[in-house]
Amino acid sequence: MKNTAASSNQRSTQSNQPDAGSPASVADPGGRIKTLVILGASGDLTGRLLLPGVARLIASGRAPGLNLVGAGSDDWSPQQWQDRLKDSFSEAMEPDGASTDTGIKELHQLQEGSSYHQLDVTAKGALGQFLKDIPGPVALYFALPPAVSQKACTALTPEDLPEGTRLVMEKPFGSSVESARALNATLATLVPEDHIHRVDHFLGKSTVLNILGLRFANRLLEHSWDGEHIEKVEIFFDEALTLENRARYYDHAGAGRDMIQSHLLQVMGIMAMEPPATLGEQDVRSSIATVLRASSIGRSGHDLAEYTRRARYTSGTIGKRKVPNYIDEDGVDPANDTETLAEVEVYINNWRWAGVPFILRSGKALGNARKEAVVTFKPVPHLPVGFKGTDSPTRLHIGFGPDTLVLDLDVNGPGDVFTLDRVKLEAELGSDPLLPYGEVLEGILRADPLLSVRGDTAEECWRIVEPTFAAWASGAVPMENYAAGSSGPQAWTTSND
């Protein structure tokens, strides 16, 4: 049996008199970015994710008059850069529900006027000299490894940056608490905190607002959104993709650093936060920070092997595609001991969530792709004698991309009205036609840091996971195996859910 609930896209309106933390007061049309400069423009991230996001944003008519400049270490000709833009922009160039005729024309103009420059961003004075000829205000996007970004920022001075410059840092932000703190200190000497955008493309505007709207606009849910009523919260990002030519990055990061340390902890913060006064960046980001400060993996005094798990895929089949052992993939060094599937249990040590595990899981080469948060409610205190069938837990599924809502309930029938039967109430949540990177970039261009990770929370995320990574590196938590195309190690509860 399957029930479908109608969805509503209505949003509550803001007051005409926004306070200092409201969205209306954050965006500053007068300070709109004139030029987007991408450092690391010849890299994989830029071509695969960043440029398609830029293209969809421009083609939708929501970023008029933007200039695009690329810089990288590779010696690319103007034609090579134009070829990259053509490939990355091709989908957005086709008229559809998101792209408009005016927007497509803007995108053509941006592509024709865009240029690429070979540049060593870590050389003292090189980046500053380069920026002197760039029309400002500028968004300086560091699509670079963390260590290179740190060196590039260290080589900059405040005088090197055009007025109104916004610094955009790609994740991972640092590689430890210490390095994240050092990078934060460096950035603080260059621009104010509200001019720093630490990008987490997983935090698209529609995803964030859907979670906040679901929780805080529905008394029925928020009333039971605590440890008294909820048994556990699981956040999944399981994907069928393998390395996809990204071994140079992934084999040093692994599933833990790639997804859990950044994306999933941030989603957890939104799922667990207290109700903010407004949707302004100060209120929302402070509420997330409060959750992360109270969080740790496992329970105090217990072995991390009990609360963390790691595994690596072996050969298998995903659809019709044969996948080799991870350690046999091109560019992989077995000595790195990299996990491709990771799972941790986080506990939030406050009144609302005491004792409730937040299970964060992410992995590659899995047969069942899952991108969702699952809230499992506790059983009813007493089921009247006489009911038959399985009394299954009530579960709420919040899907990410596409954004969906599914509520699993037990109801009577059909047939024998004394028998409980499982039904699903489903709804599609509001979504933005922009790609995730387009949503994040729009906030940057509009000078709105709501979707950016604040400096203190970036450090907190590393604090939470560092003991786990140390335990893995020491071998205290064994590396398990799972066949590519499977659901993961069968002993894991999440692999059988």
Mean pLDDT of 461-489: 96
Check whether 34 is labelled as a binding-site residue: no
Residue 263 annotated in active site? yes
What does each C-alpha distance from 439 to 200, 381, 420 come to in angstroms?
11, 43, 43
- Whether the CB-CB separation of 273 and 291 falls below 8 Å is answered with yes
Average pLDDT value for the chain: 88
Pairing type for strands 166-170 and 138-142 reads parallel
* Alpha-helix residue ranges (DSSP H) falling in 307-447: 436-445
Measured from the Cβ of residue 350, the count of other Cβ atoms closer than 10 Å reads: 15
What stretches of 152-240 adopt beta strand conformation (E)? 166-170, 196-199, 230-238
pLDDT given for residue 8 in this prediction: 39
Split at pLDDT 50, 70, 90, the class of 152 is very high
302 is in an annotated binding site: no
8 A C-beta contact, residue 440 and residue 199: yes
Helix (H) or strand (E) holding 215: helix 205-216
Q: Any idea where the domains of the chain sit in the sequence?
A: 21-199, 210-429+463-496
3-state secondary structure of 70: strand
> What is the predicted pLDDT for the residue at 147?
83
pLDDT in tens, 303-349: 899 999 999 999 999 999 999 999 999 999 999 999 999 999 999 99
Q: Is 124 annotated as a binding residue?
A: no
How does pLDDT run across 164-175, given as a tens digit for each residue? Answer: 999 999 888 888
Q: Is 239 known as a binding-site position?
A: yes
Q: Is the pLDDT of residue 158 over 60?
A: yes
User: Whose structure tokens read 């690429």?
Assistant: 116
Which entry of 108, 195, 252, 263 is annotated as an active-site residue? 263
Confirm or deny that 371 is annotated as ligand binding.
Answer: no
Cα–Cα distance measured from residue 136 to residue 184, given in angstroms and rounded to the nearest whole number: 23
Alpha-carbon distance 168 to 186, whole Å? 14
Strand partners for 296: 347
pLDDT tens profile 409-445: 888 877 777 888 788 999 888 776 777 788 888 888 8
Does 322 count as an annotated binding residue?
Answer: no
Contact of 270 with 212, CB cutoff 8 Å: yes
Q: Known binder of ligand: residue 258?
A: yes
Give the pLDDT of residue 392: 82
CA–CA distance, 203 with 340 (Å, rounded to integer): 22
From 193-202, 320-329, 434-443, 467-476, the region with the lowest mean pLDDT: 434-443
Q: What is the per-residue pLDDT across 51-104, written as a single tens digit (0 to 9) for each?
A: 999 999 999 988 889 999 999 999 999 999 999 999 999 988 988 768 888 999
* Tokens found for residue 141: 């996007």
* Residue listed under structure tokens 């893995």: 472
Q: Is the CATH number 3.30.565.10 carried by domain 210-429+463-496?
A: no
Please tell me whether 83 is known to bind a ligand: no
Q: Is the pLDDT of residue 390 over 50?
A: yes
Note the pLDDT tens digit of each residue in 219-247: 989 889 999 999 999 999 999 999 888 88
Which pLDDT value is given to residue 31? 65
Q: Which of 149, 66, 152, 146 is nearest to 109 (CA)?
A: 66
What is the fold of 21-199?
Answer: Rossmann fold (3.40.50)
Peptide bond before 137: cis, by omega within 30 degrees of 0? yes
Three-class SS state of 226: coil
